């Protein structure tokens, strides 16, 4: 090896070493003191060992304003590249808080945009590990424009490749929009997201609030609905990311991966036959049914703390990935409201985008009444569910477990929503409204003229129950395909999905529809 070549190699190795150190050992130590991992440590935990191929490790800004010439670090505060998660290819980026607080720069945008473009061309998911103080103020409009480059690629990739954002520290200002445009947001450790920080809020409104109170994981998983999952630690958050990926295909032209099933598809759990209480107003937990029907320990609930009157998530049936939508009778009796409607509709559209069959469990007394719902636009939000079901072309199967009333029956995956198969349990009540309300509307005069109004009302209610408050009238007219024993649900679903796996359905050609957002 010649001396000149040796010198060149030494320079390269020195620059690589500097890139690995990010903002330097002192900054790394400070990151650890905060209880946080570095960008490279996070990637090492997320990706299969030895699979990471870095791009742009030596990219550095060339600006001098506001002392930036003294803060040039190879990589410019972000690590980008490609790797594998459980043997499946992914594109990744991880913001490096040790370099200028991970502040977002023009160079960061260029690096992220490059892997977004390559991921879209290759048809592989993008995972972003976010830990940044926001836009790099010293770069002015350059930094703001840089956000726009990432946003447009988020939108272009939407519905084509899975996009997952993991929030592992601060994510503020314009930085929050990129995660909001992705498919899933996972918040882990002491992370937070907000548009305007505590200082700005105090200056404008006088209100004092901490960063966690304003935009911590508790806020975004339970109140705002911005985040989909939360984890106590970074390690748990990265493990959750891997698990979530396992239910999704690489892109919209592929099917989700099947794992080797260990749970017999013919298994029938007799406890399902006793799940529905005799008292029709007594609650039960629909998650108990989900756990008994699908492959053991396969249910991953999404947004469990937001709009808990609706349950959504992924599970497996005979090793195949399925999306689950369900009313939750143990919260608000499973009634639909504004938040539940938005939660359900978005999940349906996500499953449809990535070829995940949708299985719906219906136990809903209707839409939640009240002026707050009407003024808040429950009509518009409820229509989102109808739009999503009608638009979806993946296999769709519904099971009516108990109440399916009025508009909620239609909205929750009925035959008219282009549902493929509808089952009902013998405990199903399918009607326009409850028997008491129906009788008072239909027979008000007759009851009023009766010698014993209370007795006549009770008699008419009993008659209504016998005629309409069951699944058999709906089965008679073909709205229910079959009434089944609850314990039969697992094998029945598996057989139906086996037939529907080759389903081909297309919507009319158009630029896009107008979903009631």
With beta carbons less than 8 A apart as the criterion, state whether 257 and 264 touch: no
Q: Is residue 171 packed enough to be buried (19+ CB in 10 Å), middle (13-18) or exposed (0-12)?
A: buried
407 is catalytic: yes
Residue among 196, 119, 202 at smallest CA distance from 158: 119
User: Which among 165, 161, 180 is positioned nearest to 120, based on CA atoms?
Assistant: 161
Q: What is the C-alpha separation between 129 and 76, in angstroms, rounded? A: 15
User: Phi-psi category of 497—alpha, beta or left, where left has phi over 0 and alpha has psi -120 to 50?
Assistant: alpha
Residue 225 is among the residues annotated as catalytic for this protein: no
Q: Which residue has the tokens 């349906």?
A: 348
What DSSP designation does 258 have? Answer: P
Q: Determine which one of 342, 353, 408, 494 is catalytic.
A: 408
Quick check: 317 and 352 in contact, CB under 8 A? no
User: Residue written as tokens 């790394």?
Assistant: 28
Q: Looking at the DSSP assignment, which residues form a beta bridge with residue 112?
A: none
Closest CA to 384 of 340, 351, 428: 340
* Residue 237 falls in the annotated catalytic set: no
In 219-366 the beta strands, taken as DSSP E runs, fall at 229-231, 300-302, 310-317, 320-327, 358-364
Is residue 305 classed as helix, strand or coil in its secondary structure? coil
Q: 77, 173, 197, 366: which is the annotated catalytic residue?
A: 173
DSSP single-letter state for residue 12 = H
Closest residue by Cα to residue 225 from 304, 287, 164:
304
DSSP designation for 368: P
* Catalytic residue (choose from 319, 376, 406, 407): 407
- Tell me which of 123, 174, 225, 406 is the catalytic residue: 174
Q: What is each CA distance from 428 to 275, 403, 416, in whole angstroms? A: 13, 6, 18
489-500 vs 286-293: helix crossing angle, rounded to 10? 70
Q: CA torsion angle for 405, 410, 415, 416 (degrees, to 10)?
A: 150
By C-alpha distance, which of 351, 472, 326, 489 is closest to 408?
326
Q: Give residue for tokens 């699979």.
A: 51
Give catalytic status of residue 23 as yes or no.
no
State the Cα–Cα distance between residues 38 and 61, nearest whole angstrom: 21
Which residue has tokens 């519904």?
398
Q: What are phi and psi of 253, to 5 degrees?
A: -100, 0
Q: Say if strands 396-405 and 429-431 run parallel, antiparallel, or are unpaired.
A: parallel
Residues noted as catalytic: 173-174, 407-408
């Amino acid at each position: 090896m010649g001396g000149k070549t040796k010198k060149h190699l030494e320079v390269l190795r020195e620059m690589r070493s500097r890139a690995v150190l990010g903002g330097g050992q002192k900054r790394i130590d400070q990151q650890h003191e905060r209880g946080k991992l570095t960008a490279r440590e996070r990637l090492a935990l997320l990706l299969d060992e030895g699979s990471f191929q870095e791009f742009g490790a030596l990219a550095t800004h060339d600006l001098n304003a506001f002392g930036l010439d003294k803060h040039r670090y190879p990589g410019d505060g972000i690590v980008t590249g490609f790797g594998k998660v459980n043997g499946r290819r992914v594109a990744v980026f991880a913001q490096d808080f040790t370099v200028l607080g991970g502040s977002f720069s023009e160079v960061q945008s260029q690096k992220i945009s490059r892997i977004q473009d390559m991921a879209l061309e290759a048809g592989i998911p993008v995972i972003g590990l976010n830990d940044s103080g926001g836009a790099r103020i010293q770069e002015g409009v350059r930094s703001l424009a840089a956000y726009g480059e990432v946003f447009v690629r988020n939108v272009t990739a939407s519905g084509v490749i899975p996009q997952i954002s993991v929030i592992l520290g601060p994510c503020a200002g314009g930085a929050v929009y990129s995660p909001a445009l992705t498919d899933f947001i996972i918040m882990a450790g002491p992370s937070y997201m907000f548009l305007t920080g505590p200082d700005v809020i105090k200056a404008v409104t006088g209100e004092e609030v901490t960063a966690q109170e304003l935009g911590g994981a508790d806020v975004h998983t339970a109140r705002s609905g911005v985040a989909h999952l939360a984890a106590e630690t970074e390690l748990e958050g990265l493990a959750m990311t891997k698990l979530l990926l396992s239910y999704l295909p690489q892109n919209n032209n592929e099917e989700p991966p099947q794992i080797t099933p260990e749970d017999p598809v013919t298994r029938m759990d007799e406890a399902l036959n006793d799940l529905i209480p005799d008292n029709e107003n007594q609650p039960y937990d629909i998650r108990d049914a989900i756990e008994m029907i699908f492959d053991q320990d396969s249910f991953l609930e999404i947004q469990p703390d937001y709009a808990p009157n609706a349950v959504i998530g992924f599970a497996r049936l005979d090793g195949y990935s399925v999306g689950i939508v369900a009313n939750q009778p143990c919260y608000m009796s499973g009634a639909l409201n504004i938040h539940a409607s938005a939660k359900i509709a978005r999940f349906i559209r996500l499953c449809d985008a990535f070829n995940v069959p949708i299985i719906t469990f219906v136990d809903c007394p209707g839409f939640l009444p009240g002026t707050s719902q009407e003024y808040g636009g429950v009509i518009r939000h409820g229509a989102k569910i109808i739009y999503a079901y009608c638009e979806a072309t993946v296999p769709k199967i519904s099971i009516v477990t108990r109440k399916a009333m009025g508009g909620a029956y239609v909205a929750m995956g009925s035959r008219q929503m282009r549902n493929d198969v509808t089952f009902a349990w013998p405990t199903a009540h399918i009607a326009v409204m409850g028997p008491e309300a129906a009788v008072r509307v239909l027979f008000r005069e007759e009851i009023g003229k009766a010698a014993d109004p209370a007795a006549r009302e009770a008699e008419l209610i009993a008659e209504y129950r016998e005629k309409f408050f069951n699944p058999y009238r709906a089965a008679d007219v073909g709205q229910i395909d079959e009434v089944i024993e609850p314990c039969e649900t697992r094998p029945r679903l598996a057989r139906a999905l086996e037939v529907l796996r080759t389903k081909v359905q297309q919507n009319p050609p158009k630029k896009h529809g107008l979903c009631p957002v």
